[in-house]
Structure 1
Amino acid sequence: MTRWITTVAAAGRALAPIGAAMADAPARSGVDAPELAALGAYPIGVADATFVQPGQLYPLPDGSEPVVADRRLAVKIWYPAAAAGGGTTYRTALPGEDTKPVAFDIPGLATPGVRVAAGRFPLIILAHGGSNTPEVMSWLGENLASKGYVVVAPAFGDPPISLRTLASMAGPLARRPLDIVFVAAEAQRRARAGDGPLAAADPDRTALVGYSMGGYGVLAAAGGRLAPQLEPATRRVLAPFVAGAPRAGELKVAGLKAVVSIAPPRILGNLPLWADGGMTSVTAPILFIVGSQDRVVGYDPGVRTLFSEASRTRRYLLTFREAAHSIALIGAPASMTHTFWDKDWFEDGVWRKDRLIAIQTHFITAFLARYVKDDAAKAAYIDGLTTDSDTGVWATAPAGRYAGYSPGAPASTIWKGFQPSKRAGMSFEVQTPANGREGE
């Protein structure tokens, strides 16, 4: 839903030019990244599949009546590999200002078709934003695969967001929650059936990660109750699933352990997306991520409101001060830097994109390890932090350009895993369930 309405280390050598593509891959963090942004121990594989859900309603972007057709979703699967390969180059496109697609390449660490690593790994469903593609979130898909997750990223096939009409958004609004629930169930089914790389996925340890329109979708698929106003807005496609409707309870992914929602919308123009108290239905832990100047989905009111309203679970809010909405795509490829429209898909006006990606990777890694892998040691990276990243003292740290990571409390009150001179401009907040009992 980017531009809403108005708008480990994987070893081996890359494809041509040898070495250059993998070195520039967005999943590989820089030397000034926080600790947990580093790649994990596994080489990375990638595979493509198609998931088909028969007889689905889809609202057309011209405002006409929904059509019924099989819903065919291409999915990209990143997974821990048994051996390193040569990497890849992803080729994808985003709609330009005139709605025509603008193509570009993305270097990747993952190698197509390599054998999956032995073991059982948590399953992640990764949902992109409006008119995006899975490839523009390869930074996260590849990084998580290197850390022992099987990541399934559907391509939702949205109409061009440059159409700039609410009618054109009816399809994504209607389908995102339905598609995510279906993709999760189908991935879990294939995991149990031992199908390809999904055979390594553990369906009972599932997490949802989404950005923008995908952030809305994962909250809905985690049980968030949808506003009744979405019934007419989606031309009745969501009618059975809005709050109070007979099938509302069906919009919930099984085996769900955690949710990461990056810049999710609370309201679209004058259209509310969530029923009163809608976030109270989500019981899985949530990590919200947003920029304080996000004028697409709003901050406060906006994402911060959703964070406060999710009162039945433990939830976290990472805020990039002065950042806007374009926080979760890769940095702009060369072919997307020639017009303001194209570059604005990717780049923030204040923050370096590689910095935004690295910090998000760090926190998402800690959060998923804590709640999906039950790694209690990772709690120190997300619990007990000072609210303002600019504060904190590490009295024994060497002065100057010191690259060491803060060890956290008690030795340091600088955020654990951050270099002393690379921790400014953020806030991090935690809220616990109102009744003190998580997941009830």
Structure 2
Amino acid sequence: MSGSTVSERPRRRNAVRRAALGALILLATTFPSLAQNTHHANRIDLVRPDAPALARHGEHAIGVRTIEVTNPNQIDVLKAAAGQEPPRYDRKLTLEVWYPADAGNGQPGAYSGVFLRDGKTQVTLHGRAARDAAPKPAAGGYPLAIISHGYPGNRFLLSHLAENLATKGYVVAAIDHADSTYNDQGKFGSTLINRPLDQLFVLNEMDRLSKQPGHFLSGLVDASRTGLIGYSMGGYGAVITAGAGVTKEAVAYDSGVPAGMLSVHLAGSETHRKLRDERIKAVVAIAPWGMQRGFWNGEGLSAITTPILYVAGSKDDVSGYEKGVRALYAGTVNADRYLLTFENANHNAAAPIPAPVESWKAGEGAASSPFNHYADPVWDSVRMNNIAQHFVTAFLGRYVKNDAELGSHLDVPVERASEAVYAVEKDGKPKPEHTYWKGFASRTAMGLMLERKARGAN
């Protein structure tokens, strides 16, 4: 007789329940981010099992503090009117500052009240830093990294990278650029003019505060070893700060403010020359905007002598690739320069944190959804973050810390990772034909291209 007896059915139901429970446990252990998101979503410190070697967090526990700084007597771009002397104001900036901390003096906390792209929704991010933890002193101080967001953005947009660098012995200052954040977005002209000015002012302020007795940054920052990291409009600012003055065509660009105001950054002008700062040892420009709109030419780009790492998606339809970031890389002939390409990625390559779970719901399905501000349709955000952490660690290691071992990860034997050969002995020793990228396990560099040229090379 076919079928189960009554006594067998409960056992089968229990077996099904056990199998389902086992599947859930397997999912949670195989994909830990799922388990983490169940209890506290929006982690910015995830490192995938297949991440490259330098993406792993460093040896330092880290702290974080929020500080306010004020740049006095600045031009109020938003209130400027044609034919009139522009008004001035004290420009206030909010900074999030991460730093190495003494272990055990605080529990990793949360970043609350962080605005989404819609400028209305506030979310909580979770990371490794302990709020207001006591700093860990270092002889001579730690090198400085400055992070500059896009338009619009905020100081948390690249917080995954900020925390990661702090664990490796950097003090990191991420800027909320006034008139350019999600909840105070103003005319584009303010961003065009103020972005490099903000970056240099923050460098000066961090240097000043490191010499101010009683301040938590006192003795903590070695501003003579600074790396500048900018994304999108932050990258635009970083290119100008690095030495590339803009063209006359850029000065004439209609940005919603009185014509000609951008002449302060015109190539060859005295005001632009004053932006050059020898304390900046390395620049990372991720998807920098402007080249595709004629903001620079060969003459302007030739003034960059600071080592620079460009990062881009090959399908970037905001900053452009062939006529945008790749053209910047080609024109920066007087500096050591690198171009890291995420093949088929768009404008959000590498920089933004993973899309907060709240952004998945807001504007669901719409092209203007906040989710699309963070995510890429091809690449996983955590994977891109980890790759960025790896290469920024290597790049700043080489040019800011003068660490040859870290810098060696930039010397890939084959530019396009898909053409590299992974061939090692059982003991891990590379075979003669091995050309895979250092720090990447087999198959994990696919989709990437890293080009490099030394200063003076075309």
Contact 1:28 1:39 in 2 (8 A): no
Residue of structure 1 equivalent to 2:453: 431
State the shift of 1:289 in Å: 0.5
State the shift of 1:24 in Å: 6.2
Contact 2:312 2:341 in 1 (8 A): yes
Alpha-carbon distance change, 163 to 24 in structure 1, aligned in 2, over 3 angstroms? closer
How far apart, CA to CA, are the structure 2 residues paired with 1:101 and 1:159? 15
How far apart, CA to CA, are the structure 1 residues paired with 2:153 and 2:93? 14
Residue of structure 2 equivalent to 1:9: none
Note the aligned Cα RMSD (angstroms). 2.8
How far apart, CA to CA, are the structure 2 residues paired with 1:39 and 1:86? 17
Alpha-carbon distance change, 304 to 114 in structure 1, aligned in 2, over 3 angstroms? same
**SS of corresponding position for 1:336:** helix
**SS of corresponding position for 1:377:** helix
Amino acid in the other structure paired with 1:333: P
What TM-score does the superposition give when structure 1 sets the normalisation length? 0.85
How far apart, CA to CA, are the structure 2 residues paired with 1:250 and 1:279? 16
**How many equivalent pairs are there?**
406
State the shift of 1:19 in Å: 12
Structure 2 spans left out of the alignment, 5+ residues: 1-35
Residue of structure 1 equivalent to 2:158: 137
How far apart, CA to CA, are the structure 1 residues paired with 2:218 and 2:46? 24
The reply on whether 1:26 has 2:51 as its aligned counterpart is no
Residue of structure 1 equivalent to 2:124: 105
Residue of structure 1 equivalent to 2:407: 379
**SS of corresponding position for 2:456:** coil
* Structure with more helix by fraction: 2
How far apart, CA to CA, are the structure 2 residues paired with 1:67 and 1:397? 69
Residue of structure 2 equivalent to 1:44: 62
The correspondence for 1:260, drawn from 284, 294, 297, is 284
Alpha-carbon distance change, 161 to 275 in structure 1, aligned in 2, over 3 angstroms? farther
| Residue deviations 1:298-329 (CA, integer Å, cap 9, x gap) | 00011000001110011111000000011211
Residue of structure 1 equivalent to 2:71: 53
Residue of structure 1 equivalent to 2:370: 342
The reply on whether 1:173 has 2:192 as its aligned counterpart is yes
What TM-score does the superposition give when structure 2 sets the normalisation length? 0.82
Contact 2:340 2:448 in 1 (8 A): yes
Amino acid in the other structure paired with 2:437: W
The correspondence for 1:330, drawn from 330, 353, 364, is 353
Single out whichever of 350-359 and 191-200 deviates more from structure 2: 191-200
Residue of structure 1 equivalent to 2:303: 281
How far apart, CA to CA, are the structure 1 residues paired with 2:50 and 2:87? 50
Identity between Structure 1 and Structure 2 (%): 33
How far apart, CA to CA, are the structure 1 residues paired with 2:168 and 2:264? 38
Residue of structure 1 equivalent to 2:88: 68
State the shift of 1:31 in Å: 1.0
Residue of structure 1 equivalent to 2:329: 307
**SS of corresponding position for 1:202:** strand
The reply on whether 1:223 has 2:252 as its aligned counterpart is no
Single out whichever of 55-64 and 73-82 deviates more from structure 2: 55-64
The correspondence for 2:137, drawn from 115, 118, 129, is 118
How far apart, CA to CA, are the structure 2 residues paired with 1:108 and 1:407? 36
State the shift of 1:385 in Å: 2.9
How far apart, CA to CA, are the structure 2 residues paired with 1:344 and 1:25? 18
The correspondence for 2:101, drawn from 73, 76, 81, is 81
Contact 2:63 2:131 in 1 (8 A): yes
